[in-house]
């Protein structure tokens, strides 16, 4: 019987051994620690997101502030050129006076201007309202104390101070007093003329910070 050849003398076994070694080395490299390429993130995309958000926010604020609220009057190419002088809209004294009356006077003189019997006199058709503007303005600016006869009936309620004088609880401006006087002289069927701001200002300056009037004192004024 012949003896099988020794593997040590066969070059095929050497080649196989070398191949196995390379294969094991390759597996070792694959199974070993690998670099996590996804973990190496960049701050650039995040910076772009924040930068874009800040730009959008600034643009929204700018448009809101300078858009003129998309009012067509702000972009009217046919409008006359601006003089640079601020134009203050004129307020209707009747509208302004009614608001003031409903906020401060209605509790005593009522919505219909008829007042409260024996306490607060009526304003509708009252001679004190439709008569002398000088007397009426003084009543509102400085207040009234003591009894007063209106439309044949006596009332003894206190009229508070509305003008900007010491002790005033309201501190109404000349414009406000003129507006409410104009309103009560032209409401509830009254047909009195409007009371000017200039008249109220002149009376306030002339009389200063005096105390409340009495009916007797007012009747001495034309």
**Residue listed under structure tokens 């302004």:** 96
Burial 155-186 (b: 16+ CB within 10 A, else e): bebebebbbebeebeeebebebbbbbbbbbbb
Measure the CA angle with vertex 192, ends 188 and 194; round to 5°: 110
Question: What local confidence, expressed as pLDDT, does residue 44 receive?
Answer: 75
**Residue listed under structure tokens 């508070």:** 160
Question: What local confidence, expressed as pLDDT, does residue 78 receive?
Answer: 62
Question: What local confidence, expressed as pLDDT, does residue 178 receive?
Answer: 96
Question: What local confidence, expressed as pLDDT, does residue 144 receive?
Answer: 94
Question: What local confidence, expressed as pLDDT, does residue 86 receive?
Answer: 60
**Superfamily in which the 93-218 domain is placed by CATH:** Cytochrome c-like domain (1.10.760.10)
Q: Following DSSP, what letter does each residue of 185-212 receive, concatenated?
A: HHSTT--PPPPPHHHHHHHHHHHTT---
Give residues with Cβ within 8 angstroms of 55, minimum separation 6.
Answer: none
Domain boundaries along the sequence of the chain: 93-218
Question: What local confidence, expressed as pLDDT, does residue 82 receive?
Answer: 60
pLDDT digits 0-9 by tens, 42-98? 677 777 888 888 889 888 877 777 665 556 555 555 656 666 566 666 779 899 999
Question: What local confidence, expressed as pLDDT, does residue 45 receive?
Answer: 76
Question: What local confidence, expressed as pLDDT, does residue 194 receive?
Answer: 96
Six-digit token string for 131: 């008569």
Please report which helix (H) or strand (E) contains residue 148, including its range.
strand 148-150
Contacts made by residues 14-22, CB under 8 angstroms, sequence distance 24+: none
Task: Say whether pTM exceeds 0.85.
Answer: no
**Which parts of the chain register pLDDT below 70?**
1-21, 23-24, 26-42, 66-89, 165-169
Give the CA count within 13 Å in the CB-facing half-sphere of 184: 33
CA dihedral (209, 211, 212, 213) positive or negative: negative
Question: What local confidence, expressed as pLDDT, does residue 157 receive?
Answer: 87
């Amino acid at each position: 019987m012949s003896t099988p050849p020794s593997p040590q003398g066969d070059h095929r076994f050497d080649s196989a051994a070398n191949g196995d070694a390379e294969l094991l080395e390759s597996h070792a490299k694959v199974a070993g620690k690998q670099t996590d390429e996804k973990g190496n993130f960049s701050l650039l995309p995040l910076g772009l997101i924040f930068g874009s958000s800040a730009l959008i926010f600034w643009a929204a604020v700018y448009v809101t502030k300078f858009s003129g609220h998309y009012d067509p009057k702000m972009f009217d190419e046919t409008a006359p050129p601006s003089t640079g002088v601020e134009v203050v809209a004129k307020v209707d004294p009747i509208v302004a006076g009614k608001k003031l009356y409903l906020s401060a006077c209605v509790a005593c003189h009522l919505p219909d201007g008829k007042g409260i019997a024996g306490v607060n006199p009526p304003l509708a058709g009252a001679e004190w309202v439709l008569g002398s503007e000088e007397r009426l303005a003084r009543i509102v600016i400085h207040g009234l104390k003591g009894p007063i006869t209106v439309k044949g009936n006596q009332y003894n309620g206190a009229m508070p101070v509305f003008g900007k004088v010491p002790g005033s609880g309201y501190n109404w401006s000349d414009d406000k007093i003129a507006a409410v006087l104009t309103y009560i002289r032209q409401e509830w069927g009254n047909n009195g003329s409007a009371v000017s701001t200039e008249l109220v200002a002149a009376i306030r300056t002339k009389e200063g910070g005096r105390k409340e009037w009495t009916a007797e004192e007012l009747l001495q004024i034309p």
